[in-house]
Amino acid sequence: MFLAPVYNRTVKYDINEFQSHYLQSLMAVFVAKKQSELVSQLKHVPKFYREDLFFDEFNRFIGKYVNMETLATDLKIYFRSSAEQKPGTQIGAGGTGNRSGSYASSFRAANRASQDYNRASTAYFEEKYRASIRGEKDERRFLDEIHIWDKIAEDKYTMPTKWLKIVNMSYDDATFVAKLPESIDKQLVPLAIRNKVLQTHKNASRSSPTTVAIVPPLVPPEHTMAVNPLLEAEIEKMLEEEGW
């Protein structure tokens, strides 16, 4: 069951605000690292399933960077598949295998509940932002593209330079074998290694003649993710010492 958040109906909400959210930066990192794999996956499934598969993979990927439970409702709706599927059409990356018996009944019930939630949340979002986020009329843009999953499936997506620059400020090597970038966005570092990466980056800035920097995130502070308070305190202390 979807409980729609209360909002001011006299305010005009702009769907374009989501194009500058830091989750777009994470999507850029996701696509840059997974594009070849995504092309291989998406081109082998029916077109109606591409959106579902794309967002399944995206949300699994960003789980390393953000606590999904802390995201606002509107973000959860925008950055997920709005496609409706019929029972039995879901296809996993490992094959098509239709189910039978009690599992099938349970699956259909879960699917109905999921689709009910999907329809209700989509209707709420479309009403609030006065924009369509379904099917061919989907107005959402991801990395400046509408229906990016189709472009990737057809191997026709080339990432714009502005997003490539953001990708270059990411880091995910827990072994620290890969060289640190000169500028780094802390939100593009997995939570598990973020503190160590920022500390290493700070030490590098002290010992290297080359100027290195921890850059502000793409979005204002109120949109940043929630992390462990003690870890966040350490991070903020380091940033303060750096003058950020």
pLDDT number for residue 208: 62
Residues 164, 146 contacting (CB under 8 angstroms): no
- Tens of pLDDT, residue by residue over 52-89, are 999 999 999 999 999 999 999 999 999 999 987 655 44
pTM of the model: 0.77
Helices and strands in the chain, H and E counts: 8, 2
pLDDT number for residue 243: 52
Residues 195, 231 contacting (CB under 8 angstroms): yes
- Tens of pLDDT, residue by residue over 158-191, are 999 999 999 999 999 999 999 999 999 999 999 9
How many CB atoms are closer than 10 A to CB 8?
Answer: 8
DSSP string, 81-137: ------TT---BTTB-----HHHHHHHHHHHHHHHHHHHHHHHHHHHHHT---SGGG
pLDDT number for residue 8: 96
Q: In the chain, which stretches have pLDDT less than 50?
A: 88-89, 91-97, 211, 220-228
Element (H, E) at 185: strand 183-185
Residues with Cβ within 8 Å of residue 125, at least 6 apart in sequence: 74, 77, 78, 133
